[in-house]
A and B are shown apart, each in its own frame.
Chain A
């Protein structure tokens, strides 16, 4: 709690983060192809699993039940895709606006606050991520990988994953010196998407299982997988809380960084 209080920037004011989102909606109207292209990635990944990988692996045990591999991996891919979308929207694009286009400098000369800027950017990443999550779920349903209507709860789960990673991504970007530092993003994101109980279950890690839990994506995968199978447990509340706390701490820290960088 004291840590939380220390990183809440003095004068943390949120009034109009939606103005930042409005700017992006107008800017992307001209680049709608970029938005649409985001829908194809999950389609290709799921098709590759369907086409061959699933037959090679066979069945995997989830919550005591044996499920086909593709039904095991699809929710994890959905959570990964939410993470990827959030990270890429909140790093490269934000770096450009922060350091080169200086759009935030322009915004802060108006009644907009650093919290408006940070929340607007993270909110936009969430909106965009949610669009892709809906697309992903549609593809999963089309391929017969959705088990019940509970699967709709995978959407808010992806929203949480997006919130956590957009906030972390934005925060990390405020420390970047230039585009060369963007390479670090891949170095972090790739192992996360491979080792968060995504493509094989956490039991495979043996004594290192605790390490997997450090990954925020692991908690997101647990939520999306539970939604898809409709098997609920109390531990899901803990998973959701981890994501929420990580998101809020990163958001507050990011706001503070914007304040420090642009209002010195």
Chain B
């Protein structure tokens, strides 16, 4: 019988950096990730959004080859994560949700010693450490002990450390959680520069503004499933309206008002403290509100955001 060449199950296309098929992670009876399909292309910034417990971090750990899938397959750089974990890890950078910086070492030592885990020569580690200190704006803190750094500095150091092996792919698990606005903007700027240099970014976040700022494409996860996928702009167009009218009425007046507002805009949502009207034209909706004889205490017309999409898809109840 002649040999039949069997095509590989997952032909690695030139620009597909991550290909996951039917990816599943179970912990005992609990299914954290339930058969998701994901594809991330070289050079893009890709986001995993979702409430706590949606399965984002489990997915990130599988991409980072520190957790093996219970089912399904995961290929990174065309390599099978199940068999080539070390080779894959050599080419990625990881910024974990909680800093794992070495608190017994100085800032500079944290960088160059981490490079040694990648088998880089000492001189090269030191050269890159000096560059990365500059990149992370930590040059004047090079000899400080990590414990004495602010939260924002620690986060910048975490990112700098993840770059010591000049990764093609950078995984960031909630990179700016807990940081003040200044620190977040500095981080966003650094991440944007990395993207300009061709580094593929994969991140998880709760912050919708962060996702809109950074991500070319994203998926929304809920209870281990992917519930939506697309660019931020696509998702807003698909799951929300162009604008949102937010109305507040006097105490306990929201419910009564909502009944009278029925029919205005595409959709109406009654919250304990306000009424949201999703409409393509918020001003027209507001005019109509006044026509119906209602006088809200405050009225705000704003553009629809990813947050509206997120809440529409994953609900408003707390996940944990």
Q: Do A and B come from one complex?
A: yes
User: Which A residues are CB-close (under 8 A) to B182?
Assistant: none
**A112 near B117 (CB under 8 angstroms)?**
yes
Distance of A113 Cα from B84 Cα, bound (Å): 12
**B116 near A109 (CB under 8 angstroms)?**
no
User: Which B residues are CB-close (under 8 A) to A26?
Assistant: 105, 109, 113
Measured CB to CB, the closest approach of chain A to B122, in angstroms, equals 9
Q: Given A26-B113, A262-B66, A264-B67, is A109 in contact with B89 using a C-beta cutoff of 8 Å?
A: yes
Measured CB to CB, the closest approach of chain A to B47, in angstroms, equals 20
Contact residues of A between 1 and 22, Cβ < 8 Å to B: 13, 15-16, 19, 22
Measured CB to CB, the closest approach of chain A to B154, in angstroms, equals 13
Measured CB to CB, the nearest residue on chain B to A18 is B116
B90 at interface, CB cutoff 8 A:
yes
User: Which B residues are CB-close (under 8 A) to A264?
Assistant: 27, 67
A27 at interface, CB cutoff 8 A:
yes
User: Which B residues are CB-close (under 8 A) to A109?
Assistant: 64, 66, 89, 94, 96, 100
B227 at interface, CB cutoff 8 A:
no
Measured CB to CB, the nearest residue on chain A to B122 is A22
Binary A-proximity of B86-103 (CB < 8 A = 1, otherwise 0): 110110001010101111
B59 at interface, CB cutoff 8 A:
no
Which one, A69-77, A99-107, A211-219, A249-257, is touching chain B?
A99-107
Q: Given A13-B86, A113-B86, is A106 in contact with B104 using a C-beta cutoff of 8 Å?
A: no
Binary B-proximity of A103-137 (CB < 8 A = 1, otherwise 0): 10111111111000000000000000000000000
Measured CB to CB, the closest approach of chain A to B25, in angstroms, equals 9
Binary A-proximity of B273-304 (CB < 8 A = 1, otherwise 0): 00000000000000000000000000000000
Q: Given A27-B105, A111-B90, A263-B66, is A19 in contact with B100 using a C-beta cutoff of 8 Å?
A: no
How large, as a class, is the contact surface on chain B? 20 to 34
User: Which A residues are CB-close (under 8 A) to B89?
Assistant: 109-111
User: Which B residues are CB-close (under 8 A) to A110?
Assistant: 89-90, 114, 117-118, 165
Measured CB to CB, the nearest residue on chain B to A108 is B66
Contact residues of A between 30 and 62, Cβ < 8 Å to B: 30
Residue of A15, A106, A112 near B102 (CB, 8 A) is A106
User: Which B residues are CB-close (under 8 A) to A102?
Assistant: 98, 100
User: Which B residues are CB-close (under 8 A) to A111?
Assistant: 86-87, 89-90, 117-119
Interface secondary structure of A, over-half rule: loop
B68 at interface, CB cutoff 8 A:
yes
**A23 near B102 (CB under 8 angstroms)?**
yes
Residue of B86, B90, B96, B165 near A105 (CB, 8 A) is B96
Distance of A106 Cα from B165 Cα, bound (Å): 14
**B102 near A101 (CB under 8 angstroms)?**
yes
Binary A-proximity of B45-72 (CB < 8 A = 1, otherwise 0): 0000000000000000000101110000
User: Which B residues are CB-close (under 8 A) to A13?
Assistant: 86
**B100 near A105 (CB under 8 angstroms)?**
yes
User: Which B residues are CB-close (under 8 A) to A27?
Assistant: 102, 104-105, 109
Binary B-proximity of A240-264 (CB < 8 A = 1, otherwise 0): 0000000000000000000000111
Residue of B67, B86, B96, B113 near A263 (CB, 8 A) is B67
Measured CB to CB, the closest approach of chain B to A32, in angstroms, equals 13
Q: Which residues of B contact A (CB under 8 A)?
A: 27, 64, 66-68, 86-87, 89-90, 94, 96, 98, 100-105, 109, 113-114, 116-119, 165
19 inter-chain pairs at a CB distance below 8 angstroms, sorted by A residue, are: A13-B86, A19-B117, A23-B105, A26-B105, A26-B109, A27-B109, A102-B100, A105-B66, A105-B96, A105-B100, A107-B117, A109-B94, A110-B114, A110-B118, A111-B89, A111-B117, A112-B117, A113-B86, A263-B68
Given A101-B103, A109-B89, A111-B90, 4 more pairs with CB closer than 8 A: A27-B105, A109-B66, A111-B87, A112-B117
Q: Which residues of A contact B (CB under 8 A)?
A: 13, 15-16, 19, 22-23, 26-27, 30, 101-103, 105-113, 262-264
